[in-house]
Amino acid sequence: MYEPSKNNRLLIDQTADNITDYIIKNDLKPGDRLPPEHELAELLEVGRSTLREAIRMLASRNVLEVRHGAGSFISQKAGVADDPFGFSFIKDKRKLAEDLIEFRLMIEPRIAAAAASACTEEEKAGLRAQCEKVEELIRSGVSHAEEDSRLHTMIAICSRNCVIPKLLPIITVSIDNLIQITHASLREETIRTHRAIVEAICEGDSLAASDAMMLHLIYNRDCLRTQPLIASLRGDMDEI
């Protein structure tokens, strides 16, 4: 396996730092594309092999997302690790799911309210399109966890709070756990409350956005709490 020399490693690290500086100075947002490889290499005054290694390093840190044939894009994960809080090591997944919902109830209604006050017209169009994408997946019976998380991520970004994107792994883990435990049973409720959240944000109604997000999370919490009963009833039916 190829291992870069110490000097090359230092150059790769410096190049990665320079790319990060470029992203910050040019105010690039999640989803924005970096310049083509040859342009960026010339701009940073490094070889293309060094640039590729630096991009690979930043991709591993969730700063960049490399799409083969399309280029390198700013990651939606904003440089946050997939499991920065160590949730994967918590054994009781049901307790984790319940506590994550309670945490989300504390912050996501406020996030939705802030998004309603700061959302741009372009972002509104994106939210509506993403809401429809989630709805299509739910109705087709395909897993909607990833796109569901993306919708909540987009809402968080619209809040213009620079801290919130750093907490997005909490929301992502919560959505994944909830869908797995409840077997995605809240299909119609999810569709209805997602629509209400997005429309309130797009209309600039902070109070309605907060209320809709609160209702969305309460549905999730109540479904999670009744899941053991549902499982028990299914077990009883199997014995008949």
The DSSP letter of residue 33 is B
First to last CA, the chain: 59
pLDDT at 76 (0 to 100): 73
Structure tokens at 142: 């395909």
pLDDT at 7 (0 to 100): 66
Burial 166-192 (b: 16+ CB within 10 A, else e): ebbbbbbbbbbbbbebbebebeebbbb
pLDDT at 184 (0 to 100): 66
pLDDT at 50 (0 to 100): 93
Instruction: Please report, for residues 21, 22, 66, 72, the alpha-carbon distance to residue 25 in angstroms, rounded to integers and kept in the order given.
Output: 6, 5, 21, 17
pLDDT at 46 (0 to 100): 93
Looking at residue 86, its amino acid is G
Residue 123: burial class (beta carbons within 10 Å; 0-12, 13-18, 19+): middle
Decide: helix, strand or coil at residue 64.
Answer: strand
> What element of type H or E holds 66?
strand 64-67
Could you give the CA distance from residue 131 to residue 111 in angstroms, rounded to a whole number?
A: 17
* Tens digit of each residue's pLDDT (9 = 90 or more) over 96-155: 889 999 999 999 999 999 999 999 999 999 999 999 999 999 999 888 988 999 999 999
pLDDT at 225 (0 to 100): 84
Residues sharing a CB contact under 8 Å with residue 35, sequence separation 6 or more, in sequence order? 43
Decide: helix, strand or coil at residue 86.
Answer: coil
Burial 56-95 (b: 16+ CB within 10 A, else e): ebbeeebbbbeeeeebbbbbbbbebeeeeeebeeeeeeee
Q: Which has the closest alpha carbon to 131: 194, 204, 63?
A: 194
pLDDT along the chain (240 residues), means of 10: 63 92 89 92 93 92 86 80 71 87 95 97 97 95 90 94 84 84 80 97 98 95 74 39
Could you give the CA distance from residue 208 to residue 189 in angstroms, rounded to a whole number?
A: 17
